[in-house]
Amino acid sequence: MKIGASTLAGMTNKLEENLEFIENLGLDYAEIVHQYPHDNFDIDILESFNLKYSVHSPFMDVNIAALQEKSRINSIEQIKESIDLANKINAEAVVVHPGLAPFLANKYYLDTVYEYANESIKEIGDYGKDLGVLTTVENMPTFDGMLYKDMNDLHELLVSLDMYMTLDIGHANHAGYSPDEMIFDSIKHIHMHDNFGDDDAHLAFGEGSIDLKSIVDKLEEKNYNGIYIIEVNDTDSIKKSYEYMKENF
């Protein structure tokens, strides 16, 4: 198994501190959350570690489904910058969020929001293909305004665009999917964390109710060869989750 951890757990730390922790834990992969405060850094920092990388594109201040054209274009450009970074560091995957529908957009213009989201996803996917970068789209939790909470719809879109999915197991559980229902042929990257189904809690493995072993077993049966990224709230939860994986998988 290819196992790594997201720098999300140490967003308030220096990037090099996060990477040092991940490497010292014995993990082989780190996922760089490429947004503030780690949106600008010297690539030499990454090359100073014996790690391989994936990149999570910005999601805090971007919306590729925005109805305002300037906002949408700026969001796409920020994500393309993450794809450029992935190309420079030979990252194995880039993760993209599919966009949002804020209150009024969700109420009056949801079809248009999805139309713009799909156009943006295609543009981003084509950009990644041109650079030889695996660009994946992540399924979302069941919060108001989130797009592509329906994994079947996301899978169908990605197949039609010759693109791939990041399966976020915690998001899928929050959306009510059983382990069997989470598995799609379009999955090329994995985010793992635990919850009880009532919130997107990003708990350490074993601290919620998700049957992670069953999901991993099903993925391995289908010869999944991507990375399993531990995406939890703090570094202690990374350590707990990695120990859980060694004991149970």
Mean pLDDT computed over 114-129: 98
Instruction: Please give the tally of structural domains in the chain.
Output: 1
Mean pLDDT computed over 88-116: 97
Give residue-wise pLDDT tens across range 41-50: 999 999 999 9
Per-residue pLDDT at 144: 94
114 vs 96: CA distance, rounded Å = 15
Give residue-wise pLDDT tens across range 8-38: 999 999 999 999 999 999 999 999 999 999 9
Find the length of the chain. Answer: 249
Query: CA distances (Å), 117 to each of 34, 73, 111, 167, 191, in order?
Result: 20, 11, 10, 18, 22
Give just the sign of the alpha carbon dihedral 139, 143, 144, 150: positive
Residue with tokens 């382990």: 179
Domain residues for the domain of 71 are: 2-248
pLDDT band at 77 (very low <50, low <70, confident <90, very high): very high
Mean pLDDT computed over 217-244: 97
101 vs 67: CA distance, rounded Å = 9
Average pLDDT for the chain: 97
pLDDT band at 211 (very low <50, low <70, confident <90, very high): very high
Per-residue pLDDT at 102: 92
Report the CATH number that the domain containing residue 97 is assigned in CATH: 3.20.20.150
Residue with tokens 């929050």: 174
